[in-house]
Amino acid sequence: MIAGYAYIANPNTLNNTVFYMVLIAGTVQILGSIIKSRTWGVVKTKSGKVIPQATLELYTSGKETKTESLYTTTQADTHGRYQFTPENGEYTLKLRSNKGKIIQEKEVTVSDGHPRVDVGVGG
């Protein structure tokens, strides 16, 4: 904003350069937020509180064969975010407690290499 006032009040080379740099940076930031899609999921309670360091497992779907096998596993970060980069297809996402008990199980379809499923657990 100040760069705009300086540009109008005293249009010299330095003010022009600063004004256009701010303008370009703002445009890039806006376009980046529009274009960039989220590539992670979030583990949180039903009330919206994140659950840090949760363990998540991704299993290949066994709908046809009635069996499933572990594809990969990951741990959420301190903000509850997690990321998998599987091939496109049908999967089962499982959230486990610290004691290994399955807390939540969800069917997931991946069409662009990034399941973006927010996993919610009780209270």
pLDDT 10s digits, 1-57? 565 555 566 777 877 787 788 878 877 777 666 555 557 788 888 888 888 888 999
* Residues 22 and 82 placed together within one structural domain of the fold: no
Whether residue 79 sits in one domain with residue 65: yes
Q: Which domain holds residue 18?
A: 2-35
Q: What is the CATH number of the domain that holds 53?
A: 2.60.40.1120
Sign of the dihedral defined by the CA atoms of residues 43, 122, 97, 69, in that order: negative
Highest-pLDDT range among 29-33, 61-65, 101-105, 112-116: 101-105
pTM equals 0.60
Residue 121 in domain: no
Considering the domain architecture, whether residues 50 and 67 belong to the same structural domain is answered as yes
Q: What is the mean pLDDT of residues 83-106?
A: 84
- Please state the domain count of the chain: 2
pLDDT value, residue 61: 73
Residue in 38, 80, 90, 87 with CA at minimum distance from that of residue 55: 80
Does residue 78 share a domain with residue 57? yes
Compute CA distances 105 → 5, 29, 45, 65, 91, whole Å: 56, 36, 14, 18, 10
Under the banding of pLDDT at 50, 70 and 90, the label for residue 113 is low
The predicted structure's pLDDT at residue 34: 57
Q: CB burial class (10 A; 0-12, 13-18, 19+) of residue 49?
A: exposed
Q: Is the pLDDT at 123 greater than 50, yes or no?
A: no
- Which pLDDT tens digit goes with each residue over 48-93? 888 888 899 999 876 666 778 899 999 989 888 888 888 888 888 8
Residues 70 and 19 in one domain: no
Is residue 99 in a domain?
A: yes
